[in-house]
Chains A and B, each alone.
Chain A
Amino acid sequence: MTKTHIFVCGGIGCRAMESEQLRKNFQREILVRGLSDEVQVVTTGCFGFCEKGPLVKILPDQTFYVQVSPDDAAEIVSEHIIHQRKVERLLYIDPETRKRVTESKDMDFYKRQFRIALRNCGVIDPDNIEEYIARDGYSAIAKCLTEYTPEKVIDIVKKSGLRGRGGGGFPTGLKWEITRKSENSQKYVVCNADEGDPGAFMDRSILEGDPHSVIEAMAICGYCIGADKGLIYIRAEYPLAIKRLKRALQQAVDTGLLGRDILGTGFNFEIEIRYGAGAFVCGEETALIHSMEGCRGEPTFKPPFPSVEGYMGKPTNVNNVETFANIPVIINKGAEWFSAIGTEKSKGTKVFALAGKINNVGLIEVPMGTTLREIIYDIGGGIKDGKKFKAVQTGGPSGGCLSEKYLDTPIDYDNLIEAGSMMGSGGMIVLDENDCMVSIAKFYLGFTLDESCGKCAPCRIGNKRLYEKLDKITSGEGTMEDLVRLKSLSLVIKDTSLCGLGQSSPNPVLSTLTNFYDEYVAHVKEKKCPSKQCKDLINFTIIEDKCTGCTLCFRNCPVEAISGEKSKIHHIHQDKCIKCGLCYSKCKFEAILIE
C-alpha cells in the first residue's frame, strides 16, 4: 500500500498564516486516529502560490487544498484520508469558470510554469536526503565524478547556455572555465545566498525547500574548477533556511556525498556556512568576498575578477542559489535539453517573486521568453480589485518600471536591459493605476541610499542627490530643470560608479522618466500627483452630499482629525490630517474626496 503524504507548505507566507500549527494539528489527528503507519505529515518548502496559503497537498492523489486553517486539519483527515472524500470547500475555485479545481496542474497559476530550479520545492521533504535522492538527487555529481572529466562538465554547462541568475547574467560555464584555468593549489566555490532585493525571496525558498540541489551543484562546481572547499554566504535573517541547510549539509556528510573521497572517487569537497549581516551591496561578488573575509562589504574594482583573485586571494567561483539549483538538472538531462528551453541568448527558466497589485501573489518559474502579459494575466490572474495595470517593476533596485507597451516583450536578460530594466534576481512587482511612479522611483532610491557602501563618490553622493530631487518633486517643489538634472545625473552615476549597485541604481529613475514622463510633469507643473499618493499634493475632504454621518471615518481616524456627530455631515480638519487615507478606504458611501 502506498503511504499517504500530507504536504504542508512551509514557505514563509504560509507559515505567517499558521501553517506550522496546521501541521501540528494534522499530526495530532493522525496520531489520535492511529494512522501513523499509513500517513505521514511533511513540512515542505514553498509551493509558490502564496496568495492562497496556507497550502496543503495530499499524495498520492495530488489533491491541492488552499487557504487551509489549523482548524481544518481534523476535517481533512476524517473526510479525505479516512473517507476518501475531497473537502470541496477547501479546493481552489477557478476565477473564470467558478469551478472547483482539484489538482495544481489544472490551475492557471501552475499550468504555464516550468519548474527546474524549483523542481523539488513543495514536492519533497527538505529535511530528508532520501527524498532528494529518490528524485535523481546526487545522481548528477555521481555522473560527473565517475563518467565525466571536469572539462566535459564545464562543456556541458557552457553548451546549456546557463547564465548567472543573480542579476548579471554572466555565462556560468565560462565563469567555471576561467576559474578552472586560474592556477592555484587552493580554490573556492562560493554560493551567494545573500538575497537582498526587497521584493525577492526565491533563493530563500530554494534553500528552504530543496537545499540538497545547491549542495550537489556546489560539489559539481568544485570538481570542475578544482576546489575542495565551498562556502555559502547566507543572510542571517533567514533562520529556517540556515537550519535546513545545516541539516542538509550534515546529511550529505553522513551519506558520504560531502567530505573526503566522495563516492570513492578520491574527490574531496566540504562546505561551510558564512553569514551575511545586512548589506545589499554584498550581492556584488567582490563585496561578498570582503564580507566573508571579515571586512566591510565594499566592492573592489574588477579585474582582478574573483575567478582569478577571490576569497583570501585565491581563485573563487561565485554563483547564486538559483544558478546552482539548475546545475544538477542540466547534468542529468543534458545541455541540449536545457538549451531547448528559453530564447536565443537566455536559456532555461527564471524564477520570479510575483507580487504587488496582482491577484496571484507567489513564487513562479517560467521559461525564458515568456511575456510579461502571460505572467501577469495568465499566471498572476490579472490586477487586483479589477484595477488598471500601470507598470511592472523587474530587477528590484537595479531594475526599472516597464509600462503597458512592454507587456508582450518576451522576458530575457537582453530584452529587459534594452527596455531599460534588468532581470536582477527576479523580483517582479506589479503596479496599478493607484501607484505613483515618482514615489516608486523614490522608494527604490531610498533603498539604494540605505544600501550604498559609500566607497565611490557617484553612488555615495549622486544617489543622495537623486533622492533629494525626487523628494522635491513629490513635495510639489520640483522644477522642469530638476527633471533634466535627474536624467543627466542618473546617466553619470551609471557611467562612473564602481560596482553594479551604483551602475544600476538610477534605473528606476530613468525608466520611470522614460515611460511615465507625464506623471513627473504633472507633479512639477500642476503640482498634482495623478495617482493621488503624494501626501504633500493631496487633501482629503468630505463630499457633503454623500456623507451620511455614519461616523465610520470619525471612528477610524487615527489622529482625531475628523469631527462630526451621528447622522450629521462630518468634517476633516486639514491641520490635523496626516493623509493616511484610512477614512477614504473605510467610507462606504464614497463620500471622501482626494484632490
Chain B
Amino acid sequence: MTKTQLSEPAEILVKSICARYKNDEHELINILHELQHELGHLPAELQSAVAHELHIPVSKIYGVVSFYSFFTMLPKGKYQISVCLGTACYVRGGELVLEEFKRRLNIKTGETTKDGVFSLSCIRCVGACGLAPVVTIGEKVYGRVSPQQVRRIIDEYLMLEEG
C-alpha cells in the first residue's frame, strides 16, 4: 500500500496546533477546526498525524470528522456557494435556487467543480430570513435570490476569475 505523506509544513502545523492544546484528546474538535481553517480540508494523512500527536486511534478521529457536517476531507472550491435551506428559505423557493445551481454548475450538493472554482453546499438558516431565499458566497450574502438570478451570480465570479 502506498502511503501519502503529509507535507513537512503541514506536519509542523499539526504538531504546533496539537501542542498548543497540550495534546489533549478532548480538544480534538478545536484542533480540527484550526487545521481546517488553515488548510481548507482534513485529508486522511492529516488525521493520522493528529492521531499520532494525541495518542488516539485514527479511527476515532475519522469517526469525528465524518460525524460533523462542518468538517470536510475534500478541498473546497475557491468560491463556496451555500444555499440556505432553512425553513424560511425553503418555503420561499430555496430548493429551486439550489436545483438551478446544481444544474448550472453540473455538480451535486457537497461537490466542487472540476476546475476547483466553485463548491456547492446547503446550509440551515443564516438568520437572514427576511431576505429569503438566501445564498452566501464567502462573506457575501445574496438575498431574495430567484432561480433566474443564479446564472448572473455565477457569471459574476467567473468574470472575477478571468480577471
Contact = CB atoms under 8 A, between A and B. Distances in A.
Genuine A/B complex:
yes
Interface of A: 11-13, 15-17, 46, 50-51, 53, 196-201, 204-205, 236-237, 274-280, 291-297, 312, 353, 355-357, 361-362, 393, 396, 427, 429, 431, 435, 440, 443-444, 447, 450, 453, 556, 558-559, 578, 580-582
B87 A199 contact: yes
Nearest to A396: B87
A558 B127 CA distance: 29
A279 B69 contact: yes
Given A279-B68, A362-B130, A578-B99, A274 B30 contact: yes
B86 A199 contact: yes
B147 A580 contact: yes
Given A12-B128, A558-B147, A297 B86 contact: no
Contacts of B114: none
Contacts of B96: 580-581
10 contacts: A13-B143, A16-B128, A16-B142, A198-B90, A199-B87, A201-B125, A201-B126, A295-B60, A296-B63, A580-B147
Contacts of B64: 294-296
Interface secondary structure of B, over-half rule: helix
Interface in B10-59: 25-30, 32-33
A197 to B, nearest CB: 7
Contact of B33 (A51, A277, A361, A431): A277
Nearest to A203: B127
**B: interface residue count bin:** 35 or more
A291 B30 CA distance: 10
B94 to A, nearest CB: 10
Interface string B78-100: 00000001111011110010011
Contact of A278 (B70, B86, B87, B93): B70
Contacts of A204: 127
Given A355-B132, A558-B148, A294 B86 contact: no
B103 interface: yes
B67 A427 contact: no
B91 A429 contact: yes
Contacts of B130: 13, 50-51, 53, 355, 361-362
A190 B143 CA distance: 34
Contacts of A13: 127-131, 143
Q: Interface centre among A46, A277, A278, by most B CB within 10 Å? A: A277
B154 interface: no
A429 B91 CA distance: 9
B123 to A, nearest CB: 7
Interface string B109-124: 0000000000000011
Nearest to A280: B124
Given A198-B124, A296-B63, A355 B148 contact: no
Contact of B88 (A295, A355, A556): A355
A361 B129 contact: yes
B66 to A, nearest CB: 9
B74 interface: no
A447 B32 contact: no
Contact of A237 (B60, B123, B146): B123
A349 B113 CA distance: 47
Contacts of B158: none
